Amino acid sequence: MAPKKKLYGGETQKAVDNFPISGETVPPSVIHWLGRIKGAAATVNGELGLLDKALAAKIAEAAQAVARGDHDDQFPIDVFQTGSGTSSNMNTNEVLGALAGAHPNDDVNYGQSSNDVFPSAVHLAALDQATNQLLPALKQLERSFDKKARQFKDVVKSGRTHLMDAVPVTLGQEFAGYAAQMRLGQERVAAALVHVGQIPLGGTATGTGLNTHPQFAERVRKLLAKESGLKLIAPPADPFEAQANRDALVELSGALKVVAVSLTKIAQDLALMGSGPRAGIGEIFLPELQKGSSIMPGKVNPVIPEVVLQVCAQVIGNDTAITIGGMQGQFELNVRIPLMARNLLQSIHLLSTTSDALREKCVDGIQANKAGCKRSAESTLATATALNLAIGYDKAAAIVKEAASSGRMLRDVALEQGVDPKVYDETIDLRRIAAGNQAQEPAKKAAPKRKPAAAAKASGNGKPAAKAAPKRKPAAKA
């Protein structure tokens, strides 16, 4: 939709006419940061005596309005435009020039180039949104999972590997794992932001800094950091590295992809554990948000996990495009920046809002299906793994095979095959098994009984390995 009054000029109109591609404009956050950068640039140039101070103040005031989003309708250029973002930089120069009564190039763009200003705006938009939206959302989701981990710490259920029954775990252990995934995701994103904060501002056309004051970039960075509170805004490790590539954006996108992979695993687990309620796994109750079918009465679907899975697929796809974009550009400039900006900022936004939705509409309301967990914990024949230390793997495997084929209870088969009832009951304690090596002390009490149990192996599965072992030592001495 065209603005009622156009503040932009001919260069912007040319770009609108040249790029009728997607109907999607440059992300507003990039435009807002272009405004902030140009406002700070005008202020610094005024302080350095390079611009009339009164004019610099007018440009800075107009830039604040752009940064607030007051003139978003004045930025109509398609996001798929010239790869350096020159069109959007010119658009910003023209709007600020019209608002402040200044020349777009000579005044508003003084000491700058599209080649250093536009990528700087993209970096700072990503730094801003990741810092103030994504990381807090992931932290809150981590806390939600951690709260559920504590709530479910004594709820024992069947573990699963390869989608097959495994030794028991607690529902709390699984949710603690999810909390850790979110915690590590935050660490990965935060680590990438250190490099994202290193902006190429001051390099002008090729990284040499031609036509800009030696103190310009440092002063602008300090002013931007002070006004935004973003402490990671920093000079580049090397001006030519910063100008020629967008590796930091690729790095951040990679961290976002890992978060998406983590959320995919979690969402799939939640959907599977909530499946049923009668013919599925049925170990948790997901919040009932809406009808799940237009024809099947009472059906409830895992709608939030399904949204999460779709978003994560989009983020992973975005990362592929960003990766390819990062490869493009020759010598002193990457020329796929608008594409990278679009996809990266979309990924940050999607992961932020989706993390909030997952927390608020799903995780916070999850309840344990204690009957379902108890049923799965008691049904898994993999609990026999705990008997290995007492009777050996082969004997335990024979018991499991017989129980599985006959459908009889594991305990009945074990006792029939000579396992001492007291040994069985002390060993097959589901909570102790779920505790793993954190419950070693009680298991040690059964250790003296292993020798008689080992002797009983001969009647079941051939010669016991324990009897053969002592004969090896003399042989070795000989």
Q: What are phi and psi of 284, to 5 degrees?
A: -135, 160
Beta bridge partners of 141: none
Contacts of 351 (CB under 8 A, 6+ apart): 134, 137, 138, 256, 259, 260, 263, 311, 315
Decide if 45 contacts 216 (C-beta within 8 A): yes
Q: Is 287 exposed, middle or buried (0-12, 13-18, 19+ CB in 10 A)?
A: middle
Structure tokens at 240: 């030519």
Long-range Cβ contact pairs of 396-404 (< 8 A, separation 24 or more): 398/460, 398/461
Q: Compute the distance between CA of residue 431 and CA of residue 317 in angstroms, rounded to an integer.
A: 42
Q: Compute the distance between CA of residue 43 and CA of residue 58 in angstroms, rounded to an integer.
A: 9
Among the options 22, 103, 293, 379, which is catalytic?
293
| Catalytic site includes residue 213 | no
Pairing of strands 156-161, 164-170: antiparallel
Q: Is 471 exposed, middle or buried (0-12, 13-18, 19+ CB in 10 A)?
A: exposed
| Catalytic site includes residue 162 | yes
Q: Compute the distance between CA of residue 252 and CA of residue 250 in angstroms, rounded to an integer.
A: 5
Query: Which residues are tagged catalytic?
Result: 162, 293
